[in-house]
Structure 1
Amino acid sequence: MTPPPSTSAPLAVITGASGALGAAIHNRLSEAGWQVVATYNTRAPGPARQDGDSTWVHFDAADDASTEALRQAVDTQSGRLHAVFACVGAPSTKRPVAQTPIGEFQSVHEANALSFVRTWHAVAHRARSDGASVLAVGSDAGQAARANNGPYTAAKAALEALVVTVAKEEEQHGVRVNLLAPSLIDSPLAHHVMALKGVTDPDSYFAQLPWGRPLTLDEVAGACIELATAAHWSYTTGQIYPLEAVR
């Protein structure tokens, strides 16, 4: 676990913090003493908007008001903004392109790509002034096009292009922007996706993966925090880092 990079409590933003991976990142940072502005969409963290050193904000990739609410929440926080983790995402329904409604392409693109744009719109001013590091969570699907996954593959590929573009635009401001592209993570979402694909025996499915298992949430959360906050990664920007074994 990377310690806070200064003696004062550092600040992080996590969009999609109510999801499994966002929550794992949130837990690690909170335990290490970070201040966190965390977002949720459909699953509120509870009746209170404050949770220890965390401030929870409703964030919807289709809502302009959500972008402004996140910006205001970040701007009211003290301390330097060190890291932004963009973890919002949504799967496709795993149908062939010819049978996938246009509306699904739009909604999946909105969740996986435009959510990153809204996140950046909300934090850009603060990130520039504080020289923050931005880490988007993509997927190996962004480069490994598979049948029956068109909306998700297209959205994750678009996210990769956006990350590289923003990295080039913001380098002059001292902002680093990178993307981690993990393969299958053992999570509730993964089990939902496997069900959509017709997988009835997850253990047998996992056994066919490299190393015979999926990634764990803890492994991916640790890699995200490492890339975004560790001093020995401070040279990198505009990079796409796959997180998978190759057979």
Structure 2
Amino acid sequence: MSRATTSSTPLAVITGASGALGAAIHALLAQQGWHAVVTYRTRPPSNKEDTSTPGTRWVRFDGSTDDGTEALREAVAQHPGRLQAVFACIGAPSTKRFITDTPTAEFEAVHQANTLSFIRTWHAVAERARTDAASLLAIGSDAGRAARPGNGPYTAAKAALEAVILTLAKEEHPHGVRANLVAPSLIDSPLAQQVLKLKGVTDQDRYYTELPWGRPLSLDEVARVCIDLATARHWRYATGQIYPLLAATG
């Protein structure tokens, strides 16, 4: 594995960057002049070679299998700049059936997407992350602790992800690596629309009034919190923490 020449430009890895939250994080970092290695699952965005985001390299990385792990590892190794942050944004919902009615195959698939995708991400970036003392931020969910009816596979997977983050933070502390998790409530995104349909929600406005502060979180506010927690100097002491995010009024 070759290592690129060092650059002063900060580098981020964003898995699931073709999704709504990953794309929002990528866009904000690009505006700040960051370089990035970003991943997609099945099809790269149409602007894959867009010169408006110089220093960006797209890599196919599913996260639910080992396919692509080596390609991601090599892309990270070759990209210049200090690896300062890793944002793990890959995830998938369950079908919202009760556990009695949910096949075990669904539990396995949701676990692969939400938990093992992070472990495969870590396997790909670990060497560089240790060398550069990077900050890892995984995207969890308030479902990891809420344990709502009809959400068993997703809740179990996000709870497992929390356990992995807490363990990794302790294991990697000697290398200067920080690992934290953000656990948002519902984010206003295409995935949220899919989740609400799976739940059988027909009146979204009414559903939103029942959320903790009467509305979903916006992509922009969650993305900004993620970037701040992962990169701001005033958070450099924080590791092994779970940060719930609930929407405020206004």
Q: TM-score, normalised by structure 1?
A: 0.94
For 1:184, the equivalent position in structure 2 comes to 186
The range that moved more, 50-59 or 151-160, is 50-59
* Structure 1 residues 1-247: aligned runs within 5 Å: 8-46=8-46, 48=48, 52-244=54-246
RMSD value over aligned CA atoms? 1.5
2-structure distance, mates of 1:38, 1:218: 18
DSSP-derived class of the 2:9 partner: coil
2-structure distance, mates of 1:228, 1:66: 25
Q: What percentage of aligned pairs have identical amino acids?
A: 67
DSSP-derived class of the 1:56 partner: strand
User: 1:42 offset after TM fit, Å?
Assistant: 2.4
User: 1:9 offset after TM fit, Å?
Assistant: 1.3
Q: Say if 2:215 and 2:247, in contact at 8 Å, map to a contact too.
A: no
2-structure distance, mates of 1:157, 1:83: 23
2-structure distance, mates of 1:47, 1:163: 32
2-structure distance, mates of 1:168, 1:143: 21
Q: Say if 1:49 and 1:57, in contact at 8 Å, map to a contact too.
A: no
Residue 182 of structure 2 aligns to which amino acid in structure 1?
L
2-structure distance, mates of 1:221, 1:93: 26
- Poorly superposed stretches of 4+, deviation over 4 Å: 47-51
For 1:3, the equivalent position in structure 2 comes to none
For 2:4, the equivalent position in structure 1 comes to none
Q: Say if 2:10 and 2:82, in contact at 8 Å, map to a contact too.
A: yes
DSSP-derived class of the 1:91 partner: coil
How many residues are aligned here? 240
2-structure distance, mates of 1:47, 1:213: 32
User: 1:212 offset after TM fit, Å?
Assistant: 1.4
For 1:4, the equivalent position in structure 2 comes to none
The unaligned stretches of length 5 or more in structure 2 are: 1-6
